[in-house]
Amino acid sequence: MDNPLVQPDPGLYIWTIATFLILLGLLARFAWRPLLDALEQRQEVIRKSLDDARQARQELEQVKTEAAKLLSDARVEAGDIVSRTRSDAARFADEMKVKARADADALVKHAERQIDMQTKRAVESIRHEAVDLSVAIASKILRRDISKEDNDRLVQDTLKEMQSRLSN
C-alpha cells in the first residue's frame, strides 16, 4: 500500500480543513448572506402575492355577491314593472270600455231623443191634418144639414176625441 493517496497525511488534513473553513467563511460572507437575503425577499414576494390573491379572491366573492344581489334586485324590479304594466294595461282597457259604454249610452239617448222629437212632430202633424180633415168634413156636413151650434159642438167633440186618442 504504497499509494500516497490512501496514506493518512496530517498536513493534508490540516490544509484541507483550513481551506474548507476559509471557503466556508468566504461563502458565508459573500454568497450565503446575499442568497439568504434573496430567498427572504423571494419569500416575502410570494407571501405578498398570496395575500394579494386572498384579498382579490375576497373582493371577487364580494363582487359576485353584489352582482347576484343586483341581478336579484333587477329581476324583482323587472317583475314589478311587468306587473305594473299589466295592471296599467288592464286599467286602461277598463277605462276604454267604460268610455265606450258611456259613448254608446250617449248615442242611444241622443237617438231616443231624436226619435221622441220626430214622433212628437209626426203626431203633431197628424193632429193638424186630422183636425183640418175633420173640419173640412164637418164643414161639408154642416153646410148640408147641421146648424152652427151643432157644428161647433161637433168640432169640439172631434177635437177632444182626437186629443184623447193621441195622449193614449
Give me the pLDDT at residue 35, please: 85
pLDDT above 90 as % of the chain: 53
pLDDT digits (tens, 9 = 90+) for 52-103: 999 999 999 999 999 999 999 999 999 999 999 999 999 999 999 999 999 9
CA-closest candidate to residue 155, choices 141, 167, 138: 138
Give me the pLDDT at residue 78, please: 93
pLDDT digits (tens, 9 = 90+) for 119-154: 888 888 877 777 777 766 766 665 655 666 776 777
pTM: 0.40
Question: Residue 151 and residue 68: Cα distance in Å, rounded?
Answer: 105
